[in-house]
Structure 1
Amino acid sequence: MSSTLNVVDVEATCWAGNPPPGSVSEIIEIGLTVVDLESAQRRERHRILVRPARSRVSAFCTELTGLTQDEVDRGVSFAEACRLLAAEHDAGRRPWASWGDYDRNQFLRQCRATATAYPFGRHHTNAKLVFTEAHGLRKRPGMARALELAGLPLEGRHHRGEDDAWNIAALVLDLVRRGRWAG
């Protein structure tokens, strides 16, 4: 087992209802926390803003994430974000985790749609599933509820990729301390 894990959380363009004609949900923020599983510590915290190419940030999306169109317009392209993940965060070799499968599936969809090389390796852990099983729950909780169940604080703003990755990393480390993390 690798002693280092990337915990990833993405925010994407979204709307209160259906997307406007021609728009698709695109990643606009990638939050990444590097976790040292041996020392059980969150080591690094990163944020990559991504400029959407086929959609705009809606008022609903800004209300949810705090991200604005002006802010993401200063981000990098999706292809550049994937290159940064591979080059600077060892994403192709380092195992990674996210809360649920949304993040992994969004990357797969967007990489296919844009002919961009998928930046991650095969070793992905759905931390929500591990948490659900470790706590003997019937329903899979959202991240904020899981923090409550684990007795951990929500740090930062919910639905902000950088903060969510940091909080998910705390949940992973709680599972490590309980001997329930096999990822």
Structure 2
Amino acid sequence: MRFIIYDIEATCWEGRPPGMVQETIEIGAFEVNAYGEVGAAFSRLIKPILHPQLSHFCRQLTNIDQSDINRSRDFSRVIQAFQDWIDVDGEPYALAAWGSFDERQLRQDCDLHRMDDYWLDPHINLKAQYRDIRSLPKKRGLASAIRHEGFEWTGEQHRALDDAENTVKIFCKLLDMWRY
């Protein structure tokens, strides 16, 4: 079994105005084998179609430049490249992300772009399982969990590859405890 530990960033607005639909704008992932060895990485920006101009709030939060988004490919092309990277028809894998947002957002984007989302299964919600594994009263954000496990944050928060890299630290530390 291979594990694909990933994170996404999505369009966002301060206060989330009514009617604004979020779209994935970045995906970052690492492959981890059954022994906890970290393999290849995948990282791409994605050009949104509903709101191609990132809000000031989104640019500040993610530190993603509009010019980089303008040069990026659309969701269907990037996700096809991601599926090819995963090799969805090859050795069995499970996707894993910190929380439920990433999976829900990818399914929403697949629907928006009329793409099948079969490749998102099985999916591990690491945030929910982490709470159970550590017997915590409530779920923890990724940065809090990183500190709780004695790690230091690597890279920038709210950048997909950096968030995925930090998630990998916790995933590998607790490798034999995840349910999938």
TM-score by length of 2: 0.91
Secondary structure of 1:165 counterpart = helix
1:154-176 C-alpha deviation (Å, 9 max, x unpaired):
11001100100111111101111
User: Counterparts of 1:141 and 1:119 in 2: how far apart (Å)?
Assistant: 28
Q: CA offset at residue 91 of structure 1?
A: 4.2
1:24 alignment counterpart: 21
Distance 1:109 1:180, change over 3 A: same
2:76 alignment counterpart: 79
Q: CA offset at residue 69 of structure 1?
A: 1.4
Is this contact kept in 2: 1:97–1:126, CA < 8 A? yes
User: Counterparts of 1:91 and 1:64 in 2: how far apart (Å)?
Assistant: 32
| Identity fraction in percent | 29
2:46 alignment counterpart: 50
Is residue 2:12 matched to residue 1:8?
no
* Amino acid corresponding to residue 33 of structure 2 in structure 1: D
Distance 1:136 1:46, change over 3 A: same
1:68 alignment counterpart: 65
Secondary structure of 1:16 counterpart = coil
Is this contact kept in 2: 1:13–1:61, CA < 8 A? yes
1:107 alignment counterpart: 106
Is residue 2:154 matched to residue 1:181?
no
* Amino acid corresponding to residue 75 of structure 2 in structure 1: F
Q: CA offset at residue 6 of structure 1?
A: 0.4
User: Counterparts of 2:54 and 2:155 in 1: how far apart (Å)?
Assistant: 21
Is residue 2:139 matched to residue 1:143?
no
Q: CA offset at residue 110 of structure 1?
A: 1.2
Structure 1: give runs of 5+ residues left out of the alignment: none
Equivalent runs, 1:103-182 vs 2, <5 Å: 103-118=102-117, 120-176=119-175, 179-182=176-179
Structure 2: give runs of 5+ residues left out of the alignment: none
Q: CA offset at residue 119 of structure 1?
A: 6.1
* Amino acid corresponding to residue 64 of structure 2 in structure 1: L
Secondary structure of 1:120 counterpart = helix
Is this contact kept in 2: 1:82–1:119, CA < 8 A? no
How many residues in Structure 1 have an aligned counterpart in Structure 2? 177
TM-score by length of 1: 0.90
